[in-house]
């Protein structure tokens, strides 16, 4: 793994012994992650978005490129199973994330010409606890883990859709189609 303090951050990824140029800007990574949040896309479509967005040069080994792309999006770490409930959304919380960056790091993301994804991640992990984004994430965590007070649960209910963050659907096209067919059969019985 690269060390952000002493290593040059990757602008290409090695697949099958050859390096392929990537677009390492945070905007490209977030566009890709937005696709992964999209419930209307099947897993294969999400992977295609990763392949098309991230790689400037397209590796012939698409599967290897996707695995390496996920590694890149994870900040140079191997893919791990989520260790808890999903607490934020790149789509739903975009405004709060933007303002938290500005408040904490004095960075205007809109006017930043380039910011490497891994630098963005380092800054993202250090957003100030006094930001509205971090307060919302903390409230979501407390409610989802059952540690919220009665008042916090009431506050979450009052927030309505702003509070809710759906889990990411990573089913394959086959799994989605099988579920659709099953529901059709069940509905025909009624």
Provide the 3-class DSSP secondary structure of residue 137.
Answer: helix
Q: Which pLDDT does position 180 carry in this prediction?
A: 73
The pLDDT of residue 21 is above 70: yes
Q: Per-residue pLDDT tens for 76-123?
A: 988 766 678 899 999 999 999 999 999 999 999 999 999 999 999 999
Say if CB 144 and CB 85 are below 8 A apart: yes
Radius of gyration, CA atoms only, the chain:
19
Residue 135, both tokens: 């307060």
pLDDT at 169: 67
DSSP label of 40: T
Tokens standing for 102?
A: 């500005």
Q: What is the DSSP code string of 100-125?
A: HHHHHH---GGG-S--BHHHHHHHHT
List, for residues 24-61, the tens digit of each pLDDT value: 999 999 999 999 999 888 888 999 999 999 999 999 99
Confidence (pTM): 0.86
Average pLDDT over residues 143-156: 94
Q: At 55, is the secondary structure helix, strand, or coil?
A: strand
**pLDDT reported for residue 39:** 87
Q: Classify 12 in phi/psi space as left (phi over 0), alpha (psi -120 to 50) or beta.
A: beta
Q: Which residue has the tokens 């809710």?
A: 164
* pLDDT surpassing 70 at residue 7: yes
Residue 86: closest CA among 37, 49, 128: 37
Q: What angle do CA 17, 7, 112 make, to 5 degrees?
A: 105
Per DSSP, which regions of the chain are E strands? 12-15, 18-21
What percentage of residues in the chain have a pLDDT greater than 90?
A: 73
Q: SS3 of 23, please? A: coil
What pLDDT is attached to residue 159?
Answer: 93
Using a CB cutoff of 8 Å and minimum separation of 24, what contacts does 154-160 make? none
């Amino acid at each position: 793994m690269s060390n952000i303090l002493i290593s040059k951050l990757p602008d290409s990824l090695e697949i099958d012994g050859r390096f392929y140029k990537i677009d390492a800007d945070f905007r490209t990574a977030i566009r890709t992650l937005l696709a992964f949040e999209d419930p209307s896309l099947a897993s294969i479509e999400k992977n295609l978005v990763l392949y098309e967005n991230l790689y400037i040069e397209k590796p012939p080994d698409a599967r290897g490129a996707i695995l390496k792309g996920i590694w890149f999006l994870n900040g140079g770490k191997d893919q791990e199973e989520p260790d808890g409930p999903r607490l934020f959304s790149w789509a739903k919380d975009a405004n709060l994330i933007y303002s938290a960056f500005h408040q904490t790091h004095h960075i205007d993301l809109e006017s930043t010409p380039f910011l490497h994804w891994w630098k963005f991640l380092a800054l993202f992990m250090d957003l100030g606890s006094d930001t509205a984004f971090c307060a919302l994430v903390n409230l979501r965590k407390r409610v989802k883990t059952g540690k919220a007070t009665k008042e916090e649960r009431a506050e979450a209910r009052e927030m309505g859709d702003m509070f809710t963050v759906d889990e990411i659907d990573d089913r394959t096209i086959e799994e989605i189609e099988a579920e659709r067919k099953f529901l059709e059969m069940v509905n025909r019985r009624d």
